[in-house]
Amino acid sequence: MLLRDARMVVGETNFGAARLTEAERESLVAYAARASWPAGFVIYQRGAPADGVFVVTRGRVVLRSRVRAARGFVPWIACPGETFGSEGLTQTARYATDARADDESETLFLSSARFRAFVREQPQHALMLVSQLVSERSALLDKLRELTTLSVEQRLLATLIRMAANDTFTRADGRIVLCSARYRLLCELVGATRESVSLVLGRLTGEGLVERDGSSMIVASPALLAERLDAASFDGELPFTAIDETAEQAVH
């Protein structure tokens, strides 16, 4: 099936990857450099020389690939217990994306030399870090599959469910509030134009899954979104008509 079971999606962490526990992160402290980043700070840019790997301990770091001058695609948002910049562990590496602190964030950074020392001296903890890196790679491959096989509507629902699983995107009742900044981020996570995402959100608004509150949008609880995914037919298609491909290409 194109879509995984909705209950599994809701139960996942950020984009399907496991997270290092606080104890596992603490094992890195003696080997890593700790840094704090203000909201909006660009930690590195695509093409810059890379060396080592970052682990997020607080906040969120958005990885963004520029598609055009005014558009981008976000393949990953690194949250506490997750990593980014692991291309720095390869030889003569350069960063593949831009990395920007989405809010006030803290990270641990292991240079490639310190990473090798960590593997040598703390093999059990190092194994957990390697497992985290592999888990995140698997999640990225799964997101690539979604990007190439699912419609904009399907990708949007899957993305909203993942966002709802992260309390930094939700209010007390578990619903997501989409302000203008988060709306842009949502489009980049889905990998679609604002026009295509607006068409889908307009349809979901008509069905009561999204409410408008001034300039913001309030998205239904993850349970209702999961029910929509759970309603997929046996061949993996959702029970509503996808956006016409010709119209979608026109807005691109």
Span 103-116, pLDDT tens digits:
999 999 999 999 99
User: What does DSSP say about strands 105-110 and 52-58: parallel, antiparallel, or unpaired?
Assistant: antiparallel
6-145 and 150-251, same CATH topology:
no
User: What does DSSP say about strands 52-58 and 83-88: parallel, antiparallel, or unpaired?
Assistant: antiparallel
CATH code for the structural domain at 150-251:
1.10.10.10
pLDDT of amino acid 247 = 44
| Alpha carbon 234 to its chain's center | 28
Share of residues in the chain with pLDDT > 90 (%): 48
Q: What is the mean pLDDT of residues 220-241?
A: 60
pLDDT of amino acid 56 = 96
| Average pLDDT in the chain | 83
| Alpha carbon 122 to its chain's center | 29
Residues with Cβ within 8 Å of residue 102, at least 6 apart in sequence = 39, 59, 60, 61, 62, 77, 185
Angle formed by the axes of helices 194-206 and 152-164, nearest 10°: 80
For domain 6-145, give its CATH number from 2.60.120.10, 3.40.50.150, 3.40.630.30, 1.20.1430.10: 2.60.120.10
pTM of the model: 0.80
Which of the residue ranges 109-123, 179-193, 202-216 has the most confident prediction, judged by mean pLDDT?
A: 109-123
Q: What is the mean pLDDT of residues 73-84?
A: 93
In the chain, what are the domain boundaries? 6-145, 150-251
CA–CA distance, 34 with 56 (Å, rounded to integer): 10
Instruction: Say yes or no to pLDDT of 69 above 50.
Output: yes
Instruction: Say yes or no to pLDDT of 234 above 90.
Output: no
Instruction: Say yes or no to pLDDT of 42 above 90.
Output: yes
> Please, which pLDDT band fits residue 238 given cuts at 50, 70 and 90?
very low
The two tokens of residue 184 are 């842009």
- The DSSP-derived string for 139-183 is HHHHHHHHHHHS-HHHHHHHHHHHHHTSTTSB-TTS-EEE-HHHH
CA–CA distance, 217 with 203 (Å, rounded to integer): 13
Who wins on pLDDT, 178 or 101?
Answer: 101
Give the tens place of pLDDT for each residue, 13-26. Answer: 454 467 899 999 99
H or E segment to which residue 184 belongs: helix 180-190
pLDDT of amino acid 129 = 96
Cα dihedral value 31, 140, 248, 151, nearest 10: -140
| Alpha carbon 53 to its chain's center | 18
Q: Which residue has the tokens 């300039």?
A: 215
Instruction: Say yes or no to pLDDT of 230 above 80.
Output: no
